[in-house]
Amino acid sequence: MGTWNNDAEALLDEHPRAYKDIGEVMDNQSDLVKVEHRLKTILHYKGT
Protein backbone atom coordinates (compact mmCIF):
# COMPACT_ATOMS: atom_id res chain seq x y z
CA MET A 1 0.00 0.00 0.00
CA GLY A 2 1.29 3.49 -0.74
CA THR A 3 0.56 6.85 -2.29
CA TRP A 4 1.58 8.47 -5.55
CA ASN A 5 2.01 12.17 -6.28
CA ASN A 6 3.35 13.71 -9.49
CA ASP A 7 3.68 17.21 -8.00
CA ALA A 8 7.11 17.25 -6.31
CA GLU A 9 6.57 20.74 -4.87
CA ALA A 10 3.47 19.55 -3.01
CA LEU A 11 5.37 16.81 -1.19
CA LEU A 12 6.44 17.30 2.41
CA ASP A 13 9.43 15.53 3.96
CA GLU A 14 7.66 15.65 7.28
CA HIS A 15 4.60 17.26 8.76
CA PRO A 16 5.18 20.90 9.83
CA ARG A 17 3.99 20.05 13.34
CA ALA A 18 6.13 16.89 13.63
CA TYR A 19 8.32 18.52 16.28
CA LYS A 20 7.37 20.47 19.36
CA ASP A 21 8.68 23.99 19.98
CA ILE A 22 11.99 23.44 21.81
CA GLY A 23 11.58 26.58 23.92
CA GLU A 24 8.23 25.38 25.21
CA VAL A 25 9.60 21.89 25.88
CA MET A 26 12.56 23.24 27.86
CA ASP A 27 10.33 25.63 29.81
CA ASN A 28 8.03 22.73 30.72
CA GLN A 29 10.92 20.72 32.16
CA SER A 30 12.70 23.59 33.91
CA ASP A 31 12.39 21.77 37.23
CA LEU A 32 14.30 18.80 35.73
CA VAL A 33 17.12 20.44 33.78
CA LYS A 34 19.36 23.49 33.88
CA VAL A 35 19.80 25.17 30.50
CA GLU A 36 23.41 26.25 30.11
CA HIS A 37 23.49 27.05 26.39
CA ARG A 38 20.97 27.61 23.62
CA LEU A 39 22.10 26.73 20.12
CA LYS A 40 20.75 28.44 17.02
CA THR A 41 20.24 26.58 13.75
CA ILE A 42 21.91 28.39 10.88
CA LEU A 43 21.62 25.76 8.14
CA HIS A 44 19.58 22.66 7.31
CA TYR A 45 21.02 20.39 4.63
CA LYS A 46 19.51 17.18 3.29
CA GLY A 47 21.02 15.01 0.63
CA THR A 48 19.10 12.78 -1.71
* pLDDT reported for residue 28: 94
3-state secondary structure the chain: CCCCCCCHHHCCCCCCCCCCCHHHHHHHCCCCCCCCCCCCCCCCCCCC
* pLDDT reported for residue 29: 94
pTM: 0.47
Per-residue pLDDT tens over the stretch 2-48: 667 677 676 667 777 788 888 899 999 999 999 898 888 888 777 66
Q: What is the number of alpha carbons within 13 Å of residue 1 lying toward its C-beta?
A: 0
* pLDDT reported for residue 48: 60
Which residue stretches of the chain are H helix? 22-28
- Assess contact for 5 and 11: CB atoms under 8 A: yes
* pLDDT reported for residue 1: 65
